[in-house]
Amino acid sequence: MTLRFDDALVRATAIIRAHRASLVAAGRMRLVRDLLGRSRLVVEHRIESLDAVDTKLAAELGAYFAGPSLVADEMVAPEIVFGVDDRELLVLNDVEVLERVLIGADWTRGPLPNAEPRPQRATLYGLKGGVGRSSAVVAWSQHLAATKGERVLVIDLDLESPGVSSSLLPPDSTSFGVVDWLVEDAVGQADDELLRLMVGSSPLALSRGEVLVVPCGGTTDAHYLAKLSRAYLEVPDRGRSRPLAERIAKLVDELERTVRPTVVLLDSRAGLHDLAGIATTRLDALTLLFAINTRQTWAGYRTLLSGWGSRPAIAREVRERLRVVAALVPETNRQPYLEQLRLAAYDAFEPLYDGPLPPGQAEAVEAFSPDLQDPEAPHAPVPIYWSGEFQSWDPMEGEVTQDQLRAAFGSFVDTATELLLAEREAG
């Protein structure tokens, strides 16, 4: 029977685990899976038993065998395998696996460094579109400005489906946007003047604070698609390529330096897109996962969360800054609905939670194993209540009252604000 992609890595790691005793003298080892999904073992030192392991891998993996093992002692640049951050490694059958991929890599990498002034950040992410994420950004930014006096910076990173900026800004409020910065950065022209022309002030901010908005694009919409097609490029930078994640992180850092916000809200692209991976894992932000209680939603989140869970270092990095948002909670039977959603979320989050720790380790490490009913656990749903008034809501038209906003978004904005500001207030 033909071995397929889904089973090839499991088979490869099982073979290596079975030969572990004979490979001890080879020192450190990692399995590298290439762009086609083919696997090859890399070890520190050449030993006699390596040929037997390669023979077994070749026989079992077939088309998914990348070739004989590589030995660090004989490589020009062994650091490309052994110098990789442990957070990027998949651990399967107790074997460390290094993935070589073209897209999606940022989902399984740790946060990039933040430059000063380091305001609190939050990413709003939904696996599926149409769950009211952008409306939540509007309601939350208003709340932070009006009740907390915050200087809020909203950055629209949903480049393929811009939306939140048009809900917060009148037309033609800014000359440029995120895609403009990305194309100008590629040719060395992402300067302070450009940054200032990307930021608009929302008239929806009430009284005390301010809501500043960076849209996806500016007034020159006719060239938006041309710029978008170039936005995701890696660009040369002092002898190396600077990937999209580093470019987005630099953009956010530069905006924070220029605008001096007290909090930053990142409206992420939906789905398992590279931009969403950057916004949720690489920008060191509180990450709110929007969900409705459907089989499709939880199948997708199980895929994402199990991917994080298979990389222990990433799981530890992200799990305590995640929180589920129960979006569009129906008007009837709300409590049973929320309890069903809590149970589904708990099941999806299980790969990120610690199971029983082995003797000795249990005393040294505090397990992260929240109870099903723990109100502060990542899987505990923060509700946003659906209401007919919001079906075609245009915030710029002002047809929804503050009481109606509070009824729908009150629980969400209160809990999200507490989570976002907790670290700052603790310090």
Two structure tokens written together for 133: 């994420």
Both structure tokens of 304: 């994402």
pLDDT of residue 235: 85
E strands of 186-261, at which residues?
Answer: 200-201, 210-214, 235-237, 240-242
In degrees, to the nearest 5, what angle opens at C-alpha 385 toward C-alphas 285 and 297?
60
Among 24-38, 61-75, 161-175, 320-334, name the most confident range. 320-334
Separation CA 234–CA 121 (nearest Å): 25
Q: What pLDDT digit, counting tens, does each position of 279-327 carry?
A: 999 999 999 999 999 999 999 999 999 988 888 888 888 999 999 999 9
The class (CATH top level) of 111-426 is alpha beta
- At 104, the pLDDT band (50, 70, 90 cuts) reads low
Dist. CA 418–CA 411, nearest whole Å: 11
Residue 103: phi and psi, rounded to 5, are -130, 160
pLDDT band at 204; cut points 50, 70, 90: confident
> Whose CA is closest to 404, among 132, 130, 139?
139
Is residue 184 a contact partner of residue 194, using CB atoms and an 8 Å limit?
yes
CA distance 155 to 198: 10
Ordered strands of the 382-385 beta sheet: 200-201, 210-214, 151-156, 263-267, 120-126, 286-291, 322-329, 382-385
For the chain, the structural domain boundaries read 5-100, 111-426
